[in-house]
Amino acid sequence: MTRPVADIAGTPATADTTDASASTASWRTVDIIVAAALGVAFGVVFWGWNSFWNVLEPAFVGYPPGRAVIYGMWLVPAVLGALVVRKRGAAIFTEVVASVVSAVLGTPWGLYVVAYGAVEGAAAELVFAFALYRSWRLPVALGAGAAAGGAAALLDLAFYYPDWAVDHQVVYGLLVVGSSTLLAGLGSWLVVRALARTGVLAPFASGRDQARV
């Protein structure tokens, strides 16, 4: 629970109000560096996850949509970047950086992954925008993860699996959204809480929140 604080004039204020103001400010150098670093780190993770995705294909040959249970890892940067730096555009920026790094390292899908990253990041960004960049709590994180997963599923079904039976398409979409909600949404929220408690997020409102809990 957020505890009230007092401003210089003695008028009660809240930490949420302070953080909301900070989230609308211009990007600082530290914001750019940290968001970019997260993107690069997850670009390397993506490279490994691409191989893992392909290695698992034989295991799901009998039911291809089932492989979507691991999909959410590709959406983590969009949610995590926004939760950490709390700046407009952070979801798109971090996801695109991760996608570019993944493409440079090598991916079976070529430069399409960069376009995917932009769409997925934008979907997550919309959820934070609907929250007016004022709430960074678990429900918003889950919504951002779900939105990014929904965007990814629609792209996949349109470009890669248009010939699947309708029931396969529905199951695939639900699994992608569910995986993204858990891995990108819940996972990112838990990671931010864990990092904040170590003090490494002290320069950010996301880190200071934990000190007030």
Query: What is the model's pLDDT at position 204?
Result: 86
Count other C-beta atoms under 10 Å from residue 181's C-beta.
Answer: 24
Query: Amino acid identity, residue 60?
Result: F
Inside any domain, residue 10: no
Instruction: Tell me how many domains the chain contains.
Output: 1
Domain that residue 88 falls in: 27-208
Inside any domain, residue 186: yes
pLDDT by 10s per residue, the chain, length 213: 344 333 333 334 444 444 454 444 589 999 999 999 999 999 999 999 998 888 888 889 899 999 999 999 999 999 999 999 999 999 999 999 999 999 999 888 888 999 999 999 999 999 999 999 999 999 999 999 999 999 999 999 999 999 999 999 999 999 999 999 999 999 999 999 999 998 889 888 888 775 554
Inside any domain, residue 22: no
Query: What is the model's pLDDT at position 6?
Result: 37
3 state SS for 147-196: HHHHHHHHHHHHHCCCCCCHHHHHHHHHHHHHHHHHHHHHHHHHHHHHHH
Query: Amino acid identity, residue 65?
Result: P
pTM for this prediction: 0.85
| Location of structure tokens 């248009």 | 162
Bridge partners, residue 5, by sequence: 13
Inside any domain, residue 6: no
Query: What is the model's pLDDT at position 203?
Result: 84
Q: C-alpha distances in angstroms, 72 versus 19, 80, 112, 196, 202? A: 28, 12, 18, 23, 28
Inside any domain, residue 190: yes
Query: What is the model's pLDDT at position 18?
Result: 47
Inside any domain, residue 163: yes
Residue 148 is part of a domain; what is its CATH number?
1.10.1760
Inside any domain, residue 11: no
Inside any domain, residue 168: yes
Query: Tokens at residue 27, please?
Result: 């990007």
Query: What is the model's pLDDT at position 171?
Result: 97
For 26-89, where are the alpha helices, taking DSSP H only?
Answer: 29-55, 76-85
Count other C-beta atoms under 10 Å from residue 33's C-beta.
Answer: 11
Coarse DSSP helix, strand, coil percentages of the chain, rounded to the nearest 5 percent: 75, 0, 25
